[in-house]
Amino acid sequence: MKKFIMTLLIVVSGSLALAGCQTSSGRETVGTIGGGVAGGYVGSALTGGNTLGTIGGTLGGAYVGREVAKNVR
């Protein structure tokens, strides 16, 4: 349980940090946060809770979420 909570905190913190750097539309912010959370969860699950896997998943998911949100109208 402790590992799950730490992973969740890392994912949320990373997502908020990435979203705070944006100055564009709200849709891109939502895409960044959503992608970061999903990516962090997948990265953590695939690497057995490895911190680097979680961070990598968060960053990758945030990037993909932002790019998808840019192209959705």
In order along its 73 residues, the chain shows pLDDT tens digits of 667 777 777 777 766 666 565 555 678 888 888 898 888 889 888 998 888 888 899 899 999 998 998 887 6
Q: Residue 12 has what pLDDT? A: 72
Q: Rounded to whole angstroms, how far apart are CA atoms 1 and 21?
A: 31
Q: Rounded to whole angstroms, how far apart are CA atoms 14 and 58?
A: 7
| Tokens linked to 18 | 């990435």
Q: How far is CA 69 from the centre of its chain?
A: 14
Q: Residue 64 has what pLDDT? A: 93
Task: Give the number of other Cβ atoms within 10 Å of residue 52's Cβ.
Answer: 9
- Torsion region of 44: left, alpha or beta (phi above 0 gives left; psi -120 to 50 gives alpha): alpha
The DSSP letter of residue 22 is -
Q: Residue 3 has what pLDDT? A: 74
